Amino acid sequence: MTYCLGMLCRTGAVFLSDSRTSAGMDNITMRSKMRVYEKPSERVICIMTSGNLSLTQATLALIDDDLVLANNEPASETIMNTQTLYETARYVGTKVRAVEKRDRVALEADGFDFNINLIVGGQIAGMTPEIHLIYPQGNSIHATRDCPFLQIGETKYGKPILDRGFNYETSLSDAVKFGIISIDATMKSNVAVGPPIDLLCYEVDSLVANLRMRLDEDDPYLQEIGRKWQNGIVKLVKDMPAPEFTKPSLGFATAA
């Protein structure tokens, strides 16, 4: 299982992904699910993946192959020369469809779903930052000011904190904290999601991917956030008023 999160803010964007992969209870490994493509002063593109590992690796391999081929054919389309983030998402979607055309029939013949989702985001010079979610069919949706975050993988445990506290006007610093809490809540409730946590905090118009971290399981900051979040929830519950139960009316039967 996987949990990846993209958060869009007025001042930039935050991307987080876990690194745990599994193929059964006795085959647990760690693989980064975040790939960053960067050309300083021109573009920063972040791709995060969930689903069947062979499919996500095949899709990224096709993207990388185009970059190699572009050395001999400069006019060919690559992730580094699309004009907008929407075109970037569409380009990645074509790679998903290429993998589907090649592998879907064989996968489904053996009972496997064609399971792949991607988050693609960042900024191209002259444009505003964007975040897109690409489906297995290759089509996409994008984050907006009203719906400023997108998730893939195991989404349900980390969503409530984002629904309650995060919005487009949230500062980048606070967005990082909301994102790590969302990841922490997911790891607490689902053992199939786990560290290391890859983090990219992108500042609007910087056009560099210089604010990056990898948080291992024993990372002091990751542990502190988890501890303070848990202790804070307990304190909030204790500080909340207790319900006032009314006495049963005459004739109301109660258990002995």
Q: Residue 80 falls within a domain, yes or no?
A: yes
Quote the domain boundaries for residue 228: 3-238
The angle subtended at Cα 10 by Cα 129 and Cα 147, nearest 5°, is 80
How does residue 178 score in pLDDT terms, banded at 50, 70 and 90? Answer: very high
| Of residues 117, 151, 145, the one with CA closest to residue 129 | 145
CA distance 149 to 110: 35
- Evaluate if residue 253 carries a pLDDT over 80: no
- Predicted model pTM: 0.91
Structure tokens at 198: 């890859």
Asked whether residue 248 is assigned to any structural domain, the reply reads no
Answer whether residue 250 is part of any domain. no
How confident is residue 250, by pLDDT bands cut at 50, 70 and 90? low
pLDDT for the residue numbered 176: 98
For residue 12, what pLDDT is reported?
Answer: 98
Q: Could you report the per-residue pLDDT of 22-39, keeping only the tens digit for each? A: 655 556 678 899 999 999
pLDDT grade, residue 249 (50/70/90)? low
pLDDT of residue 22: 66
93: region left, alpha or beta (phi > 0 left; psi from -120 to 50 alpha)? alpha
Note whether residue 150 is domain-resident.
yes
Per-residue pLDDT band at 21 (split at 50, 70, 90): confident
Q: What integer pLDDT is reported at residue 74 of this predicted model? A: 72
Q: Tell me how far apart the terminal alpha carbons of the chain are, to the nearest angstrom.
A: 48
Starting at the edge strand found earlier in the chain, the sheet holding 130-134 runs 34-39, 43-51, 116-124, 130-134, 140-142
Instruction: Compute the distance between CA of residue 132 and CA of residue 91 in angstroms, rounded to an integer.
Output: 12
Say which CATH number the domain at 84 has: 3.60.20.10
| pLDDT tens column, 74-117 | 768 999 999 999 999 999 999 999 999 999 999 989 888 899 99
CB 5 within 8 A of CB 17: yes
Kindly state whether residue 11 falls inside one of the protein's structural domains. yes
Give yes or no for residue 256 having a pLDDT over 60. Answer: no
Q: How far is CA 194 from CA 40, 114, 131, 191, in A?
A: 31, 23, 23, 7
Task: Please count the structural domains in the chain.
Answer: 1
Point out the least confidently predicted range of 60-64, 107-111, 150-154. Answer: 107-111
Please report whether residue 244 resides in a domain: no
> Which tokens sit at 46?
């972040």
Inside any domain, residue 114: yes
In this structure, is residue 255 part of a structural domain? no
Q: Is the pLDDT of residue 246 over 90?
A: no
